Structure 1
Amino acid sequence: MRFHIMTLFPEIFNSYFGESIMKRAIEKGIIEVFVYNIRDFSANKHKKVDDYPFGGGAGMLMTPQPIYDTYKHIVDTHNIENPRVIYLTPKGKTLKQGIVKGFSKEEDIILLCGHYEGIDQRIIDLIVTDEISIGDYVLTGGELPALILVDAIARLIPGVLNQNESFEDESFENDLLEYPHYTRPREFMGLNVPDVLLSGNHQKIEAWRKEQAIEITKKRRKDLYKKYCKK
């Protein structure tokens, strides 16, 4: 799978993709990550990428030309037809695990990181297929949401997680939050690992984990619990 990230701040992505699971996935060739500096595609002699909004208002908007030319470079260079272009914005659909699963089936995904007060609406009309929000709050740019989205998608691609890093029992699978985890030592500051986890009885362990997942979901996410009960 190939991720193409359009941003004004490409350096933000270097350290993240050079570490841990993402680094291993890239080295194995399971995923590819291309980061494009929108400013490089500006036709302005000063490489300007923003301007004042028509009609007045606070802040600046990213202008359409550099973004569109970055997009054209991506699709032409990599021969991408009908690309999935995701704009990270508070106005978008809230990211859920089901949406992530859908994205994970794509061969190429283009992510557009906005900045300032946002981007010219004509770019959204022309190239954006999905507007995605990571929550009901506002950040200074789309770079952090883009990293979150790439991470969430990539870990669902076969081979990215090794055999000890399965996502099948994680939160939001089957509409349940994840059960508690314990490791050594058996006792820490007066708190003990539940006996069932030390029993060696895998059937009882699985039953305990499911019970815990149900109880945690019921207490913390009633919306998910209701969906689980309807199954």
Structure 2
Amino acid sequence: MKIDVLSLFPDMFAPMKQSIIGKAIDKGTLDFDVTDFRDYTTNKHNNVDDYPFGGGAGMLLTPQPIFDAMEAVKDNSADGSTGHVVLLDPAGKKFDHTDAERLAQYDHLTFICGHYEGYDERIKTLVDEELSLGDYVLTGGELGAMVMIDATVRFMPDVLGNRESASGDSFQDNLLEYPQYTRPADFRGMKVPDVLISGNHGKIAEWRMKESLRKTYLRRPDLLEGRPFSKEERDLLDDIKTEEADDNE
């Protein structure tokens, strides 16, 4: 995958060269570049922002530097394009697990990070979609872009050491991940559930599904709304509701 980022603060992306993403870059699985779109301003003061027409507080990013920076991205890309373009915007769709999976299917992604009060609306003609981390405003799009890139890259083939790691994560199939344990089996009197050391893979799979359902039911019941259930899952969820009701009496 090729990932390009347009930002006024390219040094903020230094952490992207670390850990799992850094290894993917070193292996050549991921090609990652950050372009400072201030380098493409044509005015003598290198300004990238201006006052909004009609008045109002704050400054808006002007279109010219971003349009020219996008042309440079296109010229420097092996595919001769900017790929699928994501604009970081508080008004965009809230980014989630399914978006990360979806974005991981593209060969080329470009993220545009804003600053100041917002964007000149004409910049959005360059964009395929607008995404946001949540219902709050950050000082810029860099942190949001890093989170989205990190979540997306995990779904690329051969990035994680174990191919099944991403498929078992929380939010896969609208479920939170089941509790997990490692050695020792007994730590200060706190014991690993017997089923997990039983060697019975069928029972282990059933326990994991039930505890995944339990955690989701207790912490994020909204994720279960509209989710299709198998008969086995529905029976497990009914058992959980009964058990939790009994515990609360």
> 1 CA distance for matches of 2:163 and 2:103?
24
Work out the number of aligned pairs and report it: 229
> 1 CA distance for matches of 2:117 and 2:92?
15
1:96, distance to aligned residue in structure 2 (A): 2.1
Q: TM-score, normalised by structure 1?
A: 0.93
**2:42 aligned with 1:43, yes or no?**
yes
1:48, distance to aligned residue in structure 2 (A): 1.1
> 2 CA distance for matches of 1:57 and 1:192?
61
1:230, distance to aligned residue in structure 2 (A): 4.8
CA contact (8 A) 1:4 1:34 kept: yes
1:91, distance to aligned residue in structure 2 (A): 0.4
> 1 CA distance for matches of 2:229 and 2:31?
39
Opposite residue 3 of structure 1, the aligned amino acid is: I
Which residue of the partner structure matches residue 134 of structure 1?
133
Instruction: Give SS of 1:227's match.
Output: coil
> 2 CA distance for matches of 1:146 and 1:107?
17
Which residue of the partner structure matches residue 83 of structure 1?
83
1:82, distance to aligned residue in structure 2 (A): 6.9
Which residue of the partner structure matches residue 108 of structure 2?
108
CA contact (8 A) 2:75 2:81 kept: no
The structure that is helix-richer by fraction is 2
1:164, distance to aligned residue in structure 2 (A): 7.1
> 1 CA distance for matches of 2:153 and 2:129?
18
> 1 CA distance for matches of 2:202 and 2:164?
21
Instruction: Give SS of 1:110's match.
Output: strand
Structure 1 residues 190 and 58: CA distance shift in structure 2, 3 A: farther
Q: What aligned pairs does 1:116-131 form with structure 2 within 5 A after superposition? A: 116-124=116-124, 126-131=125-130
> 2 CA distance for matches of 1:102 and 1:80?
22
> 2 CA distance for matches of 1:140 and 1:101?
27
Instruction: Give SS of 1:210's match.
Output: helix
CA contact (8 A) 1:176 1:228 kept: no
Structure 1 residues 167 and 113: CA distance shift in structure 2, 3 A: same
Instruction: Give SS of 1:228's match.
Output: coil
Please give the root-mean-square deviation of Cα atoms over the aligned residues, in Å.
1.7
> 1 CA distance for matches of 2:80 and 2:207?
47
Answer 1 or 2: higher relative contact order, Cα 8 Å, separation at least 6. Answer: 1
> 2 CA distance for matches of 1:192 and 1:227?
35
Question: Structure 2 stretches of 5 or more lacking a match?
Answer: 231-249
Question: Structure 1 stretches of 5 or more lacking a match?
Answer: none
Q: Percent identity?
A: 45
Q: TM-score, normalised by structure 2?
A: 0.86
Opposite residue 219 of structure 2, the aligned amino acid is: R
Of the two, which has the highest radius of gyration?
2
Q: What aligned pairs does 1:60-209 form with structure 2 within 5 A after superposition? A: 60-78=59-77, 79-81=79-81, 83-124=83-124, 126-163=125-162, 166-209=165-208
